[in-house]
Amino acid sequence: MLASDVMSRVALKSAREIEIMRRAGGLVAETFRLLEPHVKPGVTLKELDRMAEEHIRKAGAVPAYIGYGPRNNPFPATLCMSVNEVICHGIPSDRELKEGDIVGVDIGVLLDGYYGDACYTYKVGQVTPEVDALVETTRQCLQAGLETVRPGSRTGDIGHAIQTLAESRGFSVVREYTGHGIGKRLHDEPTIYHWGARYTGLKLQPGMVFTIEPMINLGQPDTRLLDDGWTVITADKKPSAQFEHTLVVTSRGYDILTL
């Protein structure tokens, strides 16, 4: 597809829409703050999922992920919860977190017709030095991608910055799963790859709203989809981490909507 064709499908957001999305993103951030003290050894994934759903609904919003996807296999929970080798889309279960785990918590909400979406990887107690380095590098990869965002830069600049940092430290970048445009739809144009070449891809304009959400692996980048049709794991069973924000391109750079 030509870049001009993709651009024609990217809906630039008005100031009013951005403020609604900032409120949706703020609720996402509030939900992370609610969960943080409870992410500890002995808690189950379902317990955290229940806390999040209650908080989101009490705020007058709807969990974005419940029922999302194909009719014959909709996602069944409020949170995507990805423990250790799970890259993304993990389904909350009765599994208890234990010391040394990492868990990626992905939260989406629908508020007043607009979506907010973010992910944070928690360390459960004390993790190994190599896993700690993975988590911190993934956090820095998100920041590296953000720092390329300004009018006139391109989506490839985002991916290049992320890939360069991750690979310079011996980690790998998941390629099959990407950032995305967001607004009245949870997943929209543009697609944001977390790898690529500078000066390529779609040119950024003020009013574009999208997510950057690098998934970085301790081992190889290869992935495997489990039989539940949702859970994605590393093919080599080594840990993976993810961080995500929703942002809007502004006249001077970017503004994060999920703080």
- Return the residue matching tokens 């944070």: 120
Phi, psi of 242 (to 5 degrees): -150, 140
132 is in an annotated binding site: no
Contact 177, 193 (CB under 8 A): no
245 is in an annotated binding site: no
187 is in an annotated binding site: yes
Distance CA 252, CA 259 (A): 19
Distance CA 118, CA 107 (A): 6
Query: In this structure, which amino acid lies at residue 175?
Result: R
Distance CA 50, CA 77 (A): 9
106 is in an annotated binding site: yes
Q: Where would I find the beta strands (DSSP E) of the chain?
A: 62-63, 79-83, 86-88, 102-111, 114-123, 172-173, 179-181, 188-192, 209-212, 215-217, 223-225, 232-234, 240-242, 245-249, 254-256
Q: Using the 8-state DSSP alphabet, how is residue 41 labeled?
A: T
49 is in an annotated binding site: no
Contact 77, 66 (CB under 8 A): yes
Contact 219, 84 (CB under 8 A): no
47 is in an annotated binding site: no
244 is in an annotated binding site: yes
Q: Where would I find the beta strands (DSSP E) of 89-193?
A: 102-111, 114-123, 172-173, 179-181, 188-192
40 contact partners, CB below 8 Å, separation of at least 6: 97, 124, 125
Residues annotated within a binding site for substrate:
89, 187
Which residues are part of a known binding site?
A: 89, 106, 117, 180, 187, 213, 244
Annotated binding residues for a divalent metal cation: 106, 117, 180, 213, 244
